[in-house]
Amino acid sequence: MPILKKNKANHVSLTPLSFLYRTKEIFPKRLAWIYKNRKATYEEFYYRCKGLALAVKDLNIKKGEVVSVMLPNVPEMLEAHFGIPMSGAILNTLNTRLEKRSIEFILKHSKSKLLIIHEQYLDLLLDLSKKIKIKIIIVSSIKTLKLKSTINYEKLLSKISISRKKKLADYFPRDEWDSITLNYTSGTTGDPKGVLYHHRGAYLMCLNNQMVWKMGYHPMYLWTLPMFHCNGWCFPWTIVALAGTQVCTNKFNGKDIINLINKNDVTHMCGAPIILQMIIDNKKIKRNKRIVHVMTAASPPSPNVLEEIEKVGFSVTHVYGLTESYGPAVISEWNPEWDKIKSTSKKSILKARQGVKYPSLEYLDVYNIKTMKPVRRDGKSLGEVFLRGNIIMKGYLNNNHANKIAFKKGWFHTGDLAVMHKDGYIELKDRSKDIIISGGENISSIEIEKIILKNPNVKDCAVIGIKDNKWGEVPCAIIEKKKNSLTEENILEFCKKYLAGFKLPKKIIFDNLPRTSTGKIQKYNLRKNITN
């Protein structure tokens, strides 16, 4: 058979942007999103996204340049996920909980050309270093809000009527390997690392999300997961592919979540285990009878939480992944044979495991790091989780050292330690990177240590994660003093100058640090000896 070459008829670059074009054509009058007293149909949503794309081009942002957004879960964040990549630029969603120092690092490192920022972060905007040379667009509900050298978002989109007529050429990337978004990790060495996603991976993740969750058409999706987390695990694009409605909210408490579920007849939502606990704490609020499907990740939810949440009408799917894998890449797939198990606690233990690979994650294994061979499937032998497939990042932006560590011998090395069970399901046991997961947020212990060590009265310190009923984990600092007069209050006041609130140590202990014969701090001994 002669070699057949791909051509325009049989090969088009994969991109999640195509979902919006399709849904707009088929379901133009269906609601795309709801936010407070605002709403938009898919036709309206499409033209606003297209208007944003044209505006970005008019601001002379070139293909492959970075546009940063600092937005909560508002409709403008959904528009950014389509409009910015449609322009050919790369979307960078900033963690809205980060402090000025980290925001400035990301803007500099990414060489971002444009920042779209919500009015509730104006204090941070005004505090940004004058050395940060960047165009500013403000999303504001106050029409009269004006700041020097800034553009109002709605004014920027005022040419929407023109966008209905003007053609936006090449919304499909020429190469599906082109970057669509840039997401920054918390960084295990203090500074965040920029993770590049490509159009192909984002497209495949959307198909995966639909498949593993068995979602079906027209889901009503509630945004309890911050969209800045791995692009909301790719759900801004996933829900559009299914012609669903996305309910945006800025309120993250159990009462408001349940009220929004009732008001909008919500079918699906995602979030860290803390969201589940919020709902459990408000279970007395009367709720409609519809089963709500919840996808949860971050630190493994306790079997008790899983048991309690399902009693109040929520069906939980547990997943595991990283920023580097577009969010969830491993799912605790439910085996129908387990329905025969009568004990709800045993079922919850099974659900708390991380599970098996997503369909587009071609390989998942746990390897003995010394022998570089798979561990025994006995649920006891510890090894590192290795991943390989089309939903692994392109790599870290301008960080060759980190890329060499992450990509070795044909695998992506997660740095997470786990066991493999007989049935092929993995279960995490520890995080070798010393990352603390608090309420779904990744916190670098090394970053906190570096800040504390700046205090002239501190001799040495180590930070570990300790269990917390509300947040899953919180930072705990063990400090060796130089001066006996040093107090917990001194340390907290010092840290507040440099760290975001969620990164502050919630427990401070003054003690000698256990060390090896070569002087290295033994964190495993600290974890063993320190309890809440």
What secondary structure does DSSP assign to 186-214, as a single string?
A: --TTSS--EEEEEHHHHHHHHHHHHHHHT
Task: Give the mean pLDDT of 453-475.
Answer: 89
SS (H, E, C) 375-403: CCCCCCCCEEEEEECCCCCCEECCCHHHH
Higher per-residue pLDDT: 531 or 512: 512
Task: Tell me how far CA of residue 332 lies from CA of 35, 157, 298, 328, 335, in angstroms.
Answer: 32, 42, 13, 11, 9
User: What is the total residue count of the chain?
Assistant: 532
Mean pLDDT, the chain, rounded, equals 89
Share of the chain above pLDDT 70, in %: 92
Q: What is the pLDDT of residues 264-280, one digit of tens each?
A: 999 999 988 888 888 99
Q: If residue 238 lies in a helix (H) or strand (E), which one and from where to where?
A: helix 235-241
Q: Assess whether pLDDT exceeds 50 at residue 189.
A: no
Structure-token match 């964190």, residue found: 523
Higher per-residue pLDDT: 510 or 276: 510
The Cα 139–Cα 259 span in angstroms is 26
pTM of the complete model: 0.85
Whether 16 contacts 199, CB under 8 Å: yes
Q: Beta 245-247 vs 31-35: how paired, if at all?
A: parallel
All structural domains of the chain, each given as residue ranges with its CATH number in brackets, are 17-250 (3.40.50.12780), 438-529 (3.30.300.30)
Q: Assess whether pLDDT exceeds 90 at residue 347.
A: no
Q: What is the pLDDT of residues 49-72, one digit of tens each?
A: 999 999 999 899 999 999 999 999
The Cα 314–Cα 292 span in angstroms is 5
Angle at 66 between CA 60 and CA 72, to 5 degrees: 110
Higher per-residue pLDDT: 172 or 200: 200
Q: Assess whether pLDDT exceeds 90 at residue 141.
A: no
Backbone phi, then psi, for 478, in 5-degree steps? -110, 120
Both tokens assigned to 375? 């561990």
Both tokens assigned to 43? 């036709």
Task: Tell me how far CA of residue 259 lies from CA of 218, 256, 286, 312, in angstroms.
Answer: 20, 5, 9, 14
pLDDT the model gives residue 517 = 43
DSSP string, 499-527: S-GGGS-SEEEE-PPPB-TTS-B-HHHHH
Among 144-153, 242-251, 515-524, which is the least confidently predicted range? 515-524
Spatial strand order of the sheet with 179-184 comes to 150-152, 135-139, 114-118, 66-70, 90-93, 179-184, 194-198, 395-396
pLDDT the model gives residue 190 = 53
Whether 176 contacts 198, CB under 8 Å: yes
Q: What is the pLDDT of residues 515-532, one digit of tens each?
A: 754 456 778 788 888 764
Residue type at position 385: V
Task: Give the mean pLDDT of 371-375.
Answer: 94
